[in-house]
A = this chain, B = another copy of it.
């Protein structure tokens, strides 16, 4: 069924070794025979057996892209941008495997032989166990999106705290004092980071920190909707709300509309991520752009380097967030004048 180098060898009247060398463009082989062998190989439509090659070379030509999970709590745009980013960097010769960590019963299948390198888009510290496993197996590893204490790991992430701080700052500049927060999934590190940015800003600007202004969500639209309902039902509702991601912001906008209010006129909202839809909501959503695709690209590049040179500049790489101002924030200064 499958054509092997031995078949080619017979036809070319040489040993399989010569064929192997010729196809790998070894300088040991005469140009003449090289050409002849390559021609025969093409004619027979030969393609090497990856498993045999991997077995002898101890290399799998496979890169594993892992996320904490693929469903529940991972938004579509997040997943898609991650894959697109990595995919754009990894060339055709490499295989790209995508899986959720939570789908694994145990990690025995994650071995050095199987993966030349691993990229982890980490959303929660529940995948620390995975990280330790990968480290123990000495597989080159890049962790994205979440700070990891191990200094030996290449770490690429965005500075969420600063991004949120900037967002709250914008609210304050526009005259807001009653600023609420809708939080992300509780055990996700990103949720905590963003909450800290919120609190830090409030402290710096000497605003009170109110428990009732911090409502839990889980990063999906429905939770944003519900959280906003709660906020609107308060005795002293906020005038502005920061949502820990855009999905929840969109849910929140819906809740505001349902209450007969207009975002951008009566109520202010800022989101986080800048997913594609943010530009097309009504009104367009002001949000903190998080460069997920960029993070994935940089991470993939770093992994390729790591697999080659074993570089050891293990400083975490921070990519900056970017406040994208659109129409969902009311300027109270103007309004009251």
Could you tell me which A residues sit within 8 Å of B by CB distance? 1-2, 45, 47, 49-52, 54-55, 60, 62, 70-71, 75-77, 79-81, 83-84, 87-88, 92-93, 95-100, 103-105, 108-109, 111-114, 221, 225, 247, 250-251, 253-254, 257, 275-277, 279-282, 284
- Contact assessment for B84 and A80 in the assembled complex, using a CB-CB cutoff below 8 Å: no
Q: Which of B80, B221, B225 contacts A79 (CB 8 A)?
A: B80
Q: How far is the CB of A248 from chain B (nearest CB, A)?
A: 10
A251–B55 alpha-carbon span in the complex (Å):
51
Which residues in B have their C-beta under 8 angstroms from that of A88? 71
What is the oligomeric copy number? 2
Q: How far is the CB of A64 from chain B (nearest CB, A)?
A: 9
A106–B269 alpha-carbon span in the complex (Å):
48
Q: How far is the CB of A130 from chain B (nearest CB, A)?
A: 14
Q: How far is the CB of A162 from chain B (nearest CB, A)?
A: 26
Q: In chain B, what residue has the closest Cβ to A114?
A: B50
- If A79-B79, A250-B280 touch, whether A97 touches B97 (CB-CB below 8 Å) is yes
A100–B60 alpha-carbon span in the complex (Å):
20
Further pairs besides A221-B279, A250-B277: 16, Cβ < 8 Å = A2-B113, A49-B55, A49-B113, A50-B60, A50-B111, A50-B113, A51-B113, A76-B81, A77-B80, A80-B80, A92-B103, A92-B105, A96-B99, A97-B98, A253-B280, A281-B281
Q: Which of B83, B99, B114 contacts A87 (CB 8 A)?
A: B99
A275–B276 alpha-carbon span in the complex (Å):
13
A79–B75 alpha-carbon span in the complex (Å):
11
Which residues in B have their C-beta under 8 angstroms from that of A257? 282
Which residues in B have their C-beta under 8 angstroms from that of A251? 280
- Contact assessment for A280 and B225 in the assembled complex, using a CB-CB cutoff below 8 Å: yes
Q: Which of B77, B92, B104, B111 contacts A47 (CB 8 A)?
A: B111
Which residues in B have their C-beta under 8 angstroms from that of A111? 2, 47, 50
Which residues in B have their C-beta under 8 angstroms from that of A221? 276-277, 279-280
Interchain Cβ contacts under 8 Å between A and B, 28 examples: A2-B111, A47-B109, A50-B111, A50-B114, A51-B51, A51-B60, A51-B113, A52-B55, A70-B84, A76-B80, A76-B81, A76-B276, A79-B80, A79-B83, A79-B84, A83-B98, A87-B99, A87-B103, A92-B103, A92-B109, A93-B109, A97-B98, A221-B276, A221-B277, A225-B280, A253-B282, A277-B277, A281-B281
